[in-house]
Structure 1
């Protein structure tokens, strides 16, 4: 009888978690849609800020899509498809003439670290789109993720644009990237490359 009661309690707990995940995902999607609609009638400065918020919310929606299918949210999940969907969403919102290429080795992360990585990738691409290709300039952004050694993973975002913002006065996007890097326990590096600008981070896949 105790086993049956325990099994039923676990079943109800799982059902409740899935319902909460589902509602959170729908709520985030609704907020993103309302933000996008409100941005249409806003001033250019406000519109840019609101669309930036909408992109960040959409990243969280993508993560919840994966978590909702997971039996155990505390177990590492394969996030390659999630990262590719985040990049695909940003590709749809990139400036005309700016191509975004993505290549990821398979990697599994717990939800908290997957969320941080999704936000980091979002900011990497968004910053490149914003600062590397002004005045209708065309170009390419290449985002890659690869295993570098046992238990470590590296992300690199390289563009062939005109450069980036002044590192001595970091904006919101740069601060968000640094915070995400801290969550991943990795060191973020941004520097000029022969063809444009490059942002890199290497971090441990698992943590104690």
Structure 2
């Protein structure tokens, strides 16, 4: 093996590691391409083959019966240097294949045609190839189809790589946003401690609390394997424990949410509404050391999430004021997710119900993801 060949093999191995394709399970997206190649080329065998440093490994195979062979049995390795397709009409007459064990022994391969799987960086990774037990050639249509299907294999791999890179970027952004929000919240808390009067101190504490709640959402998003769904039960459990830390003495907060995955926007809206309701209850529902309980219950049914928040505090006379910042925050959060809010002040205490449609059917949270 020459130094140039060594460099090419190392580059190919690095690219294959980046695609995370080797030794993965069979998948219909690749199996169907191999099946179509076999059918169009009228060949009994078709392979989506990747050439590793010491073997060739098959992501998909039709009619071959195994997932890999030693590198010395690979005809595909000779195709890697081709610009287009390597076609060997009779393997017994070609010096690259005439001594191959698959030709001499084994299945007695007599025909080979492989279209190179080339990455967007120009690295030859392997081939989409067809084999036959009789000498032959492909038609022009079959060659064109083989080229097209080979490009489709690479497109599928490139798409998956792009999605993984986007997820890594999203996770890094969530991590940085969480850290920045936590820093801002700490700064605001410091200012609150030095505030000259009680009203300013309370206002700054509320701002710090809201910022910390937003940071908690980004912490949850960072922990996800996928960036598009949040396990709401797990997130609300964390939020509940965070909010409960500032509860007045003798006031308990209980959060019970059905296992369900929602979008980040939905999770943020639910969290904003629950946070406003609970912190408002802490301030007004339990005066002069009164003990009590705040209950947050989320239930999923018929494509809808219903979250009922209630306290057993002193309640209020008449309708709630609608001009406060807390009420505006809750109304905006509900509107963002096409939700509706309904207050109940009949007592005991005050209750608020949020009903919102789920963007997609409810998906139970994965095992082990719903706990705190």
TM-score normalized by the length of structure 1: 0.89
Superposed counterparts of 1:193-204, under 5 Å: 193-204=346-357
Task: Tell me the secondary structure at the aligned position of residue 134 of structure 1.
Answer: coil
Q: Is the 8 A contact 2:189 2:204 kept in 1?
A: yes
Match of 2:341 among 182, 188, 193: 188
Q: Deviations over 1:118-163 (max 9, x none)?
A: 111101101111121123222111111112x311111111111112
For residue 55 of structure 1, what is the aligned residue in structure 2?
Answer: 209
Instruction: Determine if contact 2:315/2:347 at 8 Å carries over to the other structure.
Output: no
Task: State the SS of the aligned residue for 2:194.
Answer: coil
**Cα distance, 1:70 vs structure 2:** 2.5
1:83 equivalent to 2:219? Answer: no
Equivalent pair of 1:32/1:57 in contact (CA under 8 Å): yes
The one of 22, 45, 51 equivalent to 2:199 is 45
> What secondary structure sits across from 1:203 in the alignment?
strand
Match of 1:105 in 2: 258
Residues 70 and 77 of structure 1 are in contact (CA less than 8 Å); yes or no, is this contact kept in structure 2?
A: yes
What residue ranges of structure 1 are gaps of 5+ in the alignment?
none
Per-residue CA shift, 1:49-106, capped at 9, x if unaligned? Answer: 11111111111111111211224323x2212111111111111001112111111111
Q: Distance in 2 between matches of 1:5 and 1:204?
A: 35
How many angstroms apart in 1 are the aligned matches of 2:359 and 2:161?
32
TM-score by length of 2: 0.51
> C-alpha displacement at 1:10, in angstroms?
5.3
- How far has the Cα of 1:13 moved from its partner? 4.0
- Cα deviation, residue 168, structure 1: 3.9
On the 8 A contact 2:307/2:355 being kept in 1, the answer is yes
Q: How does 1:146-185 map to 2 (within 5 A)?
A: 146-147=299-300, 149-164=301-316, 167-185=320-338
Distance 1:61 1:205 in 2: 23
Does the residue aligned with 1:49 lie in a helix, a strand or coil? helix
Q: Between Structure 1 and Structure 2, how many residues are aligned?
A: 206
Larger relative contact order (C-alpha < 8 A, sep ≥ 6)? 1
Per-residue CA distance 1:175-202 (angstroms, 9 max, x = gap): 1111111112121111224321111111
Q: CA RMSD in A?
A: 2.2
Q: Distance in 2 between matches of 1:169 and 1:11?
A: 45
Structure 2: distance between partners of 1:144 and 1:70: 24
Equivalence for 1:119: 272
- The 3 A distance-change label for structure 1 pair 189 and 34 is same
Kindly tell me: are residues 6 and 191 of structure 1, through their superposed partners in 2, closer, same or farther at Cα, counting changes over 3 Å?
A: closer
Larger mean CA deviation between 158-167 and 46-55 belongs to: 158-167
Unpaired stretches in structure 2, ≥5 consecutive residues: 1-118, 121-153, 361-372
State the distance in 1 between where 2:230 and 2:321 align: 37
Q: Tell me what 1:34 maps to.
A: 187
| Alpha carbons 2:171, 2:227 under 8 Å: kept | no
Which structure's residues are more often helix, by fraction?
1
